[in-house]
Amino acid sequence: REALAVTAQLCGPELERYGRCVAASPGSWRRDCHQLSLSVTECASNHPLVRRIRRDCSDSFGAFERCLRERPRSAAECGPHVSQFLLCAQNVTQSATPGDTATATPGATPRD
């Protein structure tokens, strides 16, 4: 929850625009919303906790993305994949060190 709150706090406008685009374009969201997706990714990548979740939960997030690609017109069927990713993110957040939740340093790069 904290990681999602951090992402929403840091990238709320980007997330909102991306979510509206996906909802409005069920058959073509990948193409129509690609630039918005990149803006969310760029925004979120500047926070250490978000970077850690991306690293540690990449398998479950990848499964969610594959589900969306395979079912572009029925994204609701990907709910179990979202749940798995959110559980992973929650586990990462709960085990986060204080430095992970601090504000990211501009220019910092991920250690992946």
How does pLDDT run across 84-104, given as a tens digit for each residue? 888 888 888 788 765 554 443
- The larger pLDDT score, comparing residue 36 to residue 76, is at 36
Contact 89, 53 (CB under 8 A): yes
Round the average pLDDT of the chain to a whole number and report it: 78
Share of the chain above pLDDT 90, in %: 12
Longest dimension (CA), the chain: 42
Q: Which sign, positive or negative, has the C-alpha torsion 54, 41, 83, 60? A: negative
Q: Among 32-36, 51-55, 95-99, whose mean pLDDT is lowest?
A: 95-99
Q: Please tell me the predicted confidence (pLDDT) of residue 47.
A: 78
Q: Among 47-51, 85-89, 98-102, 108-112, whose mean pLDDT is lowest?
A: 108-112
The 10 Å Cβ neighbour count of residue 19 is: 13
pTM of the model: 0.53
